[in-house]
Amino acid sequence: MKQKLTHWVMKEHKDLILKGKGKFRHRDRRMREKFEIKPEGFWLSVNGSWERWLEGNWDEWLKGKVCLQAELEGDINLFVIKTKQQFLDKFKELTGKELDESSPIRFDYHEFHKKLMEHYDGMMLLSEPFWKHRLDFGFMYFYGWDCESICVWNRKKIKFKEVKK
């Protein structure tokens, strides 16, 4: 079954994104390595997951934004997170370190994301592991995603189409 993917942008950025010239916003580079929880890229809602999460959590977030339909290239190479253990194994494989789960909050995923970007075009967190582990003490990585989502950092592997009315 084909998934409905959407991406929300500020109205003033819509035309750039639709023409394939828009970039994802970069956070302050000076703090990035110390305080990176999520990778940078184009964040996609899967079948309305983000829109549902916003209801009652952050209703005002949509102000000034428009919704674009997104389509992934057929050959996109996504790291799809199906289980927490799979994520932990990939973390160790790419960083050479065990993920320390003794601290409830960890902000330094920069090295992991950088290495992941060398091998993949993006990543996807499926709904089942998100809901199952989002509140695990010592493992808040999934919680930061808010819902089932896709993050694509390779701009060549994503196209944006019509604006949702």
H/E run at residue 71 = strand 65-72
20-30: pLDDT as tens digits: 876 665 455 55
Return d(Cα 75, Cα 92) in angstroms, integer.
26
Number of domains in the chain: 1
99-149: pLDDT as tens digits: 877 765 666 788 999 999 999 999 999 999 999 998 887 788 898 899 999
- Evaluate whether 6 touches 70 at the Cβ level (below 8 Å): yes
**Residues spanned by the domain of 72:** 5-163
Predicted pLDDT at 21: 78
44-69: pLDDT as tens digits: 999 999 999 999 999 899 999 999 99
Query: What's this model's pTM, rounded to 2 decimal places?
Result: 0.89
In terms of average pLDDT, the best of 9-23, 37-51, 67-81 is 67-81
